[in-house]
Each structure stands twice: as C-alpha cells, then as structure tokens.
Amino acid sequence: MKELKFRLELNDKPNKEGLKEIFLIITDETKKKVKTNVFVKNDHFGTFKDVLTAKGIVINKRVLNYDKEKWVSDKDKNAAYKNSLLKLKIKEYKDHYDKIKETENYIDKDTVIKAVNNKFVLIDVVSVFDRYIKLREEEDDYLNKRSFSNAKNKLVGFLEKENRSKVDFRQIDKTYLERFERHLYKTINNGNAQDSSVHSIMKCLCRIFNWAREEQIIKRDIYPFGKGGYSLPTIKPKYKERLTQSELVEFQNVYAKVGTVDFNTQNAFMLAVRLAGVRIEDVLTLKVQNVHSGRITYNMKKGCTNGKLKTVKIDNKIQRILDWYITNSSKQNDYIFPFLIAEEIDVMTRTDYKKEIGKKTALINKSLKSLTDKTDINKKITTHTARHSFSSIALKTTKDVKIVQELLNHTDLKTTIRYLDELNVEGQDEVMASIAI
C-alpha cells in the first residue's frame, strides 16, 4: 500500500461570488477531494512564477509555499486567517493518518476520511466478535458460540487476504459487505458455497453490528444493513426429503433385532412422525413422566431455548412403541429411549449437552441409512425427515392452517404455510386421529 500524500488544489469552478474553494487532495493510487470551506480569488491562491520546462518553454505556473504554510497570498486581506484554517485542516487529516498507522497495516484515503468524520477511535470488529463469543461461552450457548466463531474466522481470512489485521465498524459499508460476500462464495467449499452458509455468516456479522449498537460500543447511525444498505443473500427453497405413507410402512416393517441401535432408531423415528413431526432432540429427551392421562406432554425444544408445551393424545400405534420401553420397573425420571442417560444429562453444561445431542443425532442418522438400505426407498433419510413426512401427510389430510401450525409448533404462520401451503380442518385431536400413519 502506497503512503498517503496530502496537498491543496483550487477548484475549477467559482461560486456565485466568483470565489473558488480550496480542496485538500488525499492521494494513494487515486485522489480524493475534501472540502476545506476556504474560498479565495483565483490569483490569491499561491503565487504565479515563470518556470522553465524540460523542453525549454517558459510557462507561468502557480506555486504553493508549503514550507512556510503560506498558501493564500498576501493579496487576500484575510490571508493569515485562511492559511491557519488550511494548516489545521491538513494537520487534522495527517494526525489521524499517523494514529491509524499505529494499528493498521492497510490504510486508504477513505479510511482516513471516515476516521476524521467520525472523530476516529478504532473499534475493531474482530475484537467485538471475540467479546460476543466469550459472552456466548459464559452463557453456555454452544450453538451460537460455534456459529459466531465460524463467522469471525471467515472475516479474519478475508482481512488477511487484504493484508490487514483489523477493520473498523465505520469501514464496513455496503460495498465492503458485497466484497466479503463474493469472497465467501469463492472460498467456502471450494467455490461451491450454499446460500444458507453465506447467509448465516452475514447474519452473524449483522448481529454483531446490532449488539455493538445496543451496548453503545458504536453509534446507532453506523449500520450498513437494511433499507438502502446491504441485503443478506436470499436462501433458495430446497426440496425437503419426505416419506409417503407406504414408504413409512415399508420402513417400519424392516426387521431390526430388539435392543439394537437400529431397533431403537426405527421406533424413535416412527414416534417422531406420530407425535406430529417432533424434532429428534425432543424424542431423545422424552421421559417416563411425560406419559400420563393418555397423553404425551412435554416442552418442545428448538435450538438452545426452551420451547412451548406440547401435548399429543396416545393412540394404539404410539402405545405399541411405548410398551417396548416403559415397564413396571421404569422410573419417572428415566428417558423413554436408551440413547441418553438422565443422570449424566442432568449434570451437563448446555454446551456438553448440545454436543451429546449432536453425537446421538449422527448415530441415529447412520442407523437410518442402514435401515433404508434394506428397503426399496431411494431417499436420503435423516432425523428431520420425520417432520417433513408428517407435514406432507398432514397437507393431504387437513385444510386448517392454524391447526397444523399448532401441530408443528411453529411460532410464525408463514413457516407453516411454507411447509403445508393452504390447509383447513377442525380440532387438533380430530386431525391427529384422521391422519393414518
């Protein structure tokens, strides 16, 4: 990066009074003009002298006296005052330039201009990322800690490519974010980045801006997102793999030895479908105490937050699954499925708990592949396929979008519409009874 240079230049066009403004010119590879609000007559800026060119031609050239800091000539009656203003203007920009050089490897003219306009104190985005990640760690927020750590590392990689180690919030504008987005698409997964991956990283950066504003680390008007600013990448809808009713029957009829991982996976998956597409974490953490009064009642989880109370009537098919696991010797605090041990989970931190859920989910997904390989089902089945399968069958059975929203436990009705389109039927229990799974 070239050193920045500072000089003064007279504007070509005069104002209504016939005066021309003196501009401060900041130059690296290109130049940028900064207004000084100092106006002079054309012949009052510098002095004109006859100068001999290399070709031996004498020209009358404007000469500025930088050494004596006397740019406005004595022809102007306010020359002393105007020269003092110009001196302060140059000093202000040079001082900020020197200050930034103490911490920054990459400095361009725009950085200095923004620094002056905002009374620059370096507020490094990466450092604020670190503070936010530490906060997530202190709150044992494993999933967000992982997401924001990934986003920070991607930003650091982008900075390294630009030969810089830090970036101030005020340097990140719409253009900068668009460059960062292009970098992500080029570098993630060897240039095959998914829209959802880039969207997640940019959303984390957006959250860092919002948090910095909430904590008054930066001013509220420093915000490159939203109306007129940068927009997050649009996530294109992806086909959600699902099983038909006949495929669910085929899956359920696969032989799996009692007590094996495949046997428990098969039952856990089918229970997830029959409990209105409940997520696998909720299935794994169902306890004996959740089964009472002919219903399964539990708090539905999502991400790291506590979810809503969910209750489903136990039909004959659900009861047959429960009978494999709940016996007279079962304790109220026991998990229904033997993937987790309640005594161990109860003393885990949230981070360790989420890691354990991740491990068991991976184990079950592997088992699901093993089970479907024994069928004619040519689909990639995961734990979330249970939710998609229920949604698909519910779509064909019912027409009441609000009832299905309750069954799926969606907070936003738009999410249900994306899953199920238009629906219309009465009563949650009646809907569940009418869906023959």
Half-sphere exposure of 91 (CA within 13 A, CB side): 7
Give every CB contact of residue 22 below 8 A, 6+ residues apart in sequence.
8, 9, 10, 11, 36, 38, 39, 40, 45, 71, 72, 86
The C-alpha atoms of residue 349 and residue 192 are separated, in whole angstroms, by: 35
Mean pLDDT (whole number) for 127-137:
92
Helix 142-161 vs helix 174-187: crossing angle, to nearest 10: 100
Rg, the chain, Cα only:
34
Give every CB contact of residue 58 below 8 A, 6+ residues apart in sequence.
50, 51, 52
Is the pTM above the cut of 0.85? no
Greatest mean pLDDT range, 141-145, 166-170, 200-204: 200-204
The C-alpha atoms of residue 434 and residue 426 are separated, in whole angstroms, by: 11
Considering only residues 338 and 141, tell me which one the structure prediction assigns the higher pLDDT.
338
Contact 32, 113 (CB under 8 A): yes
Give every CB contact of residue 138 below 8 A, 6+ residues apart in sequence.
none
Distances (CA, A) of 254 to 368, 375, 386: 11, 7, 16
Half-sphere exposure of 51 (CA within 13 A, CB side): 9
Give one DSSP letter per residue of 22-54, joined into a string: EEEEEESSSEEEEEEEEEE-GGGBSEEEEEE-T
- Tell me: the pLDDT tens digits for 287-343? 999 999 999 988 877 543 445 678 889 999 999 999 999 999 999 999 999 999 999
Contact 184, 201 (CB under 8 A): yes
**Range with the poorest average pLDDT among 102-116, 138-152, 419-433:** 419-433
Contact 198, 188 (CB under 8 A): yes
Mean pLDDT (whole number) for 229-244:
84
Mean pLDDT (whole number) for 188-204:
92
- Tell me: the pLDDT tens digits for 327-383? 999 999 999 999 999 999 989 988 889 889 999 999 999 999 999 999 999 999 999
Of 185, 22, 176, the closest CA to residue 108 belongs to 176
Question: In sequence order, what are the beta bridge partners of 40?
Answer: 20
The C-alpha atoms of residue 325 and residue 411 are separated, in whole angstroms, by: 32
Contact 145, 304 (CB under 8 A): no
Q: Is pLDDT at 51 greater than 80 in this prediction?
A: no
Mean pLDDT, the chain, whole residue set: 85
Q: Which amino acid would we find at residue 100?
A: I
Distances (CA, A) of 204 to 161, 165, 197, 217, 358: 20, 19, 11, 17, 22
The C-alpha atoms of residue 252 and residue 320 are separated, in whole angstroms, by: 13
Confidence tier at 249 by pLDDT (50, 70, 90): very high
Greatest mean pLDDT range, 103-107, 136-140, 427-431: 136-140
Q: Is pLDDT at 53 greater than 90 in this prediction?
A: no
Considering only residues 420 and 156, tell me which one the structure prediction assigns the higher pLDDT.
156
pLDDT of residue 424: 37
Give every CB contact of residue 274 below 8 A, 6+ residues apart in sequence.
312, 315, 317, 318, 321, 437
Euclidean distance between the first and final Cα of the chain, in Å? 67
**Locus of tokens 């931190």:** 349
**Range with the poorest average pLDDT among 187-191, 259-263, 407-411:** 407-411
pLDDT of residue 400: 60
Question: Could you give the percent of the chain with pLDDT greater than 70?
Answer: 86
The C-alpha atoms of residue 158 and residue 156 are separated, in whole angstroms, by: 5
| 2 alpha carbon, distance to own chain's centre | 34
pLDDT of residue 403: 59
- Tell me: the pLDDT tens digits for 1-37? 578 899 999 998 999 999 999 999 999 878 899 999 9
pLDDT of residue 83: 92
The C-alpha atoms of residue 337 and residue 262 are separated, in whole angstroms, by: 12
pLDDT of residue 232: 94
The C-alpha atoms of residue 412 and residue 188 are separated, in whole angstroms, by: 31
Q: Is 106 exposed, middle or buried (0-12, 13-18, 19+ CB in 10 A)?
A: middle
Give one DSSP letter per residue of 175-220, joined into a string: HHHHHHHHHHHHHGGGG---HHHHHHHHHHHHHHHHHHHHTTSS-T
Of 86, 78, 120, the closest CA to residue 10 belongs to 86
